């Protein structure tokens, strides 16, 4: 039981690291640019993969820049799109589990185990 927890914790840590490294991939999302009466939407700079999950905040940060360092993420300089972050983290977790199962299968352990 303890070894399963260790393997699961290692997979979660690897997925978290890959999710953070995915901030190197630029993209765009549609976000609220102005909210005077009716909200206006426009494309803004964002980072993350497979879905961009850190977007440029139109009110706080300089326009056209996204801070990707951990301190700026903690103080809320840019917008974190939580649903997209969860989907991206789940994607990377599944990639880690699939890679581990493939590695074990290729090494000769015919029964692929995920944990």
Enumerate the domain spans of the chain.
Answer: 20-106
CA distance 29 to 56: 9
Question: Per-residue pLDDT for 113 more than 70?
Answer: no
Q: How confident is the model at residue 33 (pLDDT cuts 50, 70, 90)?
A: confident
Q: Give the DSSP H/E element, type plus range, for residue 86.
A: helix 82-106
Per-residue model confidence (pLDDT) at position 17? 96
Per-residue model confidence (pLDDT) at position 60? 67
- pTM for this model (two decimals): 0.81
CA distance 105 to 93: 18
Question: Per-residue pLDDT for 115 more than 60?
Answer: no
CA distance 53 to 55: 6
The total of other beta-carbon atoms located within 10 Å of residue 55's CB is 24
């Amino acid at each position: 039981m303890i070894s399963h927890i260790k393997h699961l914790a290692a997979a979660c840590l690897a997925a978290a690291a890959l999710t953070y490294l995915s901030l190197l991939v630029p993209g765009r999302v549609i976000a609220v640019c102005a909210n005077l009466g009716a909200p206006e939407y426009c494309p803004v700079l964002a980072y993350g993969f497979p879905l961009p999950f850190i977007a440029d905040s139109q009110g706080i940060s300089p326009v056209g820049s996204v801070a990707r360092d951990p301190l700026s993420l903690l103080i809320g300089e840019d917008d974190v799109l939580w649903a997209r972050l969860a989907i991206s983290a789940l994607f990377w977790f599944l990639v880690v589990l699939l890679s581990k199962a493939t590695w074990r299968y290729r090494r000769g352990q015919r029964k692929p185990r995920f944990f």
